[in-house]
Structure 1
């Protein structure tokens, strides 16, 4: 997301790139009205613990005929939905994200491939705000018939507070950088003329799992959400006082 606030018209016609320790770009520019400006950028960060898990899991079944594959898949998925209901996952937090039926081909000695069977896939996306129960829930789903767990992602339901913290850090750093640059250049920093920002997040690596390994293990699957790092980058333009 990018937001821009124009505090005063800025008509730059030339740019002089100057070095800074942080590696972020800093510019001194001159407008057509001989109004010099100093442009700086900075990024602020905030760490926050995720409070929502998003699981993508499902069932893959094969059969000699399309109907056989779909019937076998439907039987297991019925058990999966029953298991989700038993652990009190609301229907509104369960979404079918993929349903497919594909022929399987037999390739032999440069001959035309022939259909040898069919594969049915049914995948659901499940949201849960109780991260502590994700591991046991995955184990229960595997016992119910899930044999394909794509990934588990963690997110923050309301990142506003963390983004506010990151934004304040970025603006403070940019302001200090501008003041230091002005002092080093022997000029006086003028008013803020424009400000824009872009925000983003750095998600932890998704947890990839093998359902077969989980099914054969007698242990509960451990899950750790870690921290998520949110960032806000600001670009600020100051006038140079005459």
Structure 2
């Protein structure tokens, strides 16, 4: 049969009958019915800052955009002239000590040149072109390479660009990130002192972005080769930047 439930008063009566004080009985009943109080905690104080850092380095490579272009009355003649000029360009580049892995064909083209008269267009000539990307691993020899290309190709030669860069950008970018982190840490330490706190642990860190600034190229556009190679070149410096957002706890 079901066991009847015992109330707090009934427990007190039973305990009195057994010689247990009623105060103890009521205390036991109260303990059995007590509910633990909720603990209220506040979120720890934090400070959030944005850190910015940069690092610079001298270029260790140059990427030269060079090519040849020839125009003739027939497509075959234009192709032959282009191929001859391209072979001369490659020979001159290799004579400068440029490895085959650092020479890449970027574009090869053949197109008609139209003559427009009385609203009609008719093919007049054919233009054949070929462009190359040449990586120069000795920056100081960039000018000599440009000179060699223009002398070997004559009026058919083109120097389209010279861009100074780093063969491996990662170490410079890592230095910029380190500078950004240090900037964020210094700012949080200052804010902690100003607020009368102790700087605690790093709660979170996120990268807001990175940047990479190359020197302005001294040569750009489709420029005929004659005379360009002897121009003095200024490599300048390369700058990498980074931004981070850091959250620190305050003690």
Shared fold per TM-score greater than 0.5: yes
Q: Is residue 2:113 matched to residue 1:104? A: yes
Return the TM-score normalized by structure 1: 0.76
Distance 1:35 1:118, change over 3 A: farther
* Residue 164 of structure 1: how far off its partner (Å): 3.4
Which protein is richer in helix relative to its size? 2
| Residues in 1 aligned to 2:74 and 2:195: alpha-carbon distance in whole angstroms | 78
2:78 corresponds to which of 63, 69, 74: 69
Whether the 8 Å CA contact 2:157–2:226 is kept in 1: the answer is no
Which SS does the other structure have where 2:164 is aligned? Answer: strand
Q: Is residue 2:53 matched to residue 1:44? A: yes
Question: Superposition RMSD on alpha carbons, in Å?
Answer: 2.2
2:178 corresponds to which of 158, 164, 168: 168
| Residues in 1 aligned to 2:123 and 2:55: alpha-carbon distance in whole angstroms | 54
Whether the 8 Å CA contact 1:136–1:221 is kept in 2: the answer is no
Q: Is residue 2:134 matched to residue 1:126? A: yes
* Residue 169 of structure 1: how far off its partner (Å): 1.8
Total equivalences in the alignment: 205
* Residue 212 of structure 1: how far off its partner (Å): 4.6
| Residues in 2 aligned to 1:115 and 1:39: alpha-carbon distance in whole angstroms | 67
Distance 1:185 1:113, change over 3 A: farther
* Residue 63 of structure 1: how far off its partner (Å): 1.5
1:92 corresponds to which of 87, 101, 105: 101
Q: Which residue of 1 aligns with 2:18?
A: none
Structure 2: stretches of 5+ with no match in the other structure:
1-41
Which SS does the other structure have where 2:117 is aligned? Answer: coil
| Residues in 1 aligned to 2:112 and 2:250: alpha-carbon distance in whole angstroms | 69
Q: Is residue 2:237 matched to residue 1:214? A: no
| Residues in 1 aligned to 2:176 and 2:233: alpha-carbon distance in whole angstroms | 27
Listed one character per residue, the Cα deviations across residues 8-60 of structure 1 (whole Å, up to 9, x for unaligned) are xxxxxxxxxxxxxxxxxxxxxxxxx8455432112211111111111010001
* Residue 189 of structure 1: how far off its partner (Å): 4.0
Q: Which residue of 2 aligns with 1:201?
A: 212
Structure 1: stretches of 5+ with no match in the other structure:
1-32
Q: Which residue of 2 aligns with 1:236?
A: 246
| Residues in 1 aligned to 2:168 and 2:246: alpha-carbon distance in whole angstroms | 27
Whether the 8 Å CA contact 1:53–1:131 is kept in 2: the answer is yes
* Residue 97 of structure 1: how far off its partner (Å): 0.5
Distance 1:212 1:156, change over 3 A: closer
Q: Is residue 2:159 matched to residue 1:149? A: yes
Which protein is richer in strand relative to its size? 1
| Residues in 2 aligned to 1:36 and 1:108: alpha-carbon distance in whole angstroms | 79
- Whose Rg is larger? 2
| Residues in 1 aligned to 2:46 and 2:106: alpha-carbon distance in whole angstroms | 51
Return the TM-score normalized by structure 2: 0.73
| Residues in 2 aligned to 1:186 and 1:106: alpha-carbon distance in whole angstroms | 80
